Amino acid sequence: MTTRKTREPARAQGTRQVGPGTRGYPSDLTDAQWQVIAAHLPAERPGRRGRPRVWPFQRIVEAILYLDRTGCAWRYLPADFPPWQTVYGYFATWRDDGTLARLHAELRTRARAAAGRDPQPTAAVIDSQSVRAADTVPHTSRGWDNAKKVNGRKRHIAVDATGLVLDVVITAASVQDRQAARPMLWNTGVSG
């Protein structure tokens, strides 16, 4: 097997290329994707106090998608995105006010409709995974899963029949699946 030699500098896969006709990161949004997401973001409030917005929402959303895709730490966000503090500030605000949950629900509904399914799922699959906790995780939020021999946390995930996430609940590893199912079903609206 031979390798092709080029005179270009080595570049890690997925790094942003600048210039006309370049695509950017694989996590960057197309115009059509952005139009779907933009409709669900909070509008700028008239008479809002504080510092004016400098970065466009599209770059902030693309930075959040980049972090989600790569799994890097906030502080390692590349320099061609907004500062990590700005991105995290918007992420935390949208998480806390329910914007991200509403956006996720809308995207899930669209994906189900595109697959020819009923927009609202009628069945869910619940599973859990025990994960070892780092030393920095407080002892109050972790427990011992005797079946898996793990000291840490447990993530309980509910998905629909197509594998789309309905809800995620994080508990101490000592919590049984049947105990975590009740709040999960309550969150998905199935128990009503």
Q: Tell me: the pLDDT tens digits for 175-189?
A: 998 898 888 888 877
Residue 155, pLDDT > 80, answer yes
Residue 3, pLDDT > 90, answer no
Residue 24, pLDDT > 90, answer no
User: How many H helices and E strands in the chain?
Assistant: 5, 4
C-alpha 80/C-alpha 99 separation (Å) is 25
Tell me the residue range of the domain where 69 lies: 26-39+54-97
C-alpha 180/C-alpha 155 separation (Å) is 9
Identify whether 112 is part of a domain.
Answer: no
pTM of the model: 0.76
Domain count, the chain: 2
- Are residues 127 and 176 located together in one domain of the fold? yes
Residue 72, pLDDT > 60, answer yes
Identify whether 111 is part of a domain.
Answer: no
- Are residues 128 and 73 located together in one domain of the fold? no
Q: What's the confidence (pLDDT) of residue 190?
A: 58
Query: 39 — phi, psi (to 5°)?
Result: -65, -20
- Are residues 93 and 125 located together in one domain of the fold? no
pLDDT (mean) for 29-48: 89
- Are residues 30 and 85 located together in one domain of the fold? yes
The H or E element spanning position 165 is strand 165-172
- Are residues 80 and 129 located together in one domain of the fold? no
C-alpha 115/C-alpha 99 separation (Å) is 24
Residue 11, pLDDT > 50, answer no
Residue 12, pLDDT > 50, answer no
Spatial contact of 121 and 160, defined as CB atoms under 8 Å apart: yes
Mean pLDDT over each residue of the chain, to the nearest integer: 85
Identify whether 15 is part of a domain.
Answer: no
Residue 123, pLDDT > 90, answer no
Q: Is 156 helix (H, G, I), strand (E, B) or coil?
A: strand
Residue 2, pLDDT > 70, answer no
C-alpha 118/C-alpha 129 separation (Å) is 29
Q: Pairing relation of β-strands 143-145 and 150-159?
A: antiparallel
Identify whether 89 is part of a domain.
Answer: yes
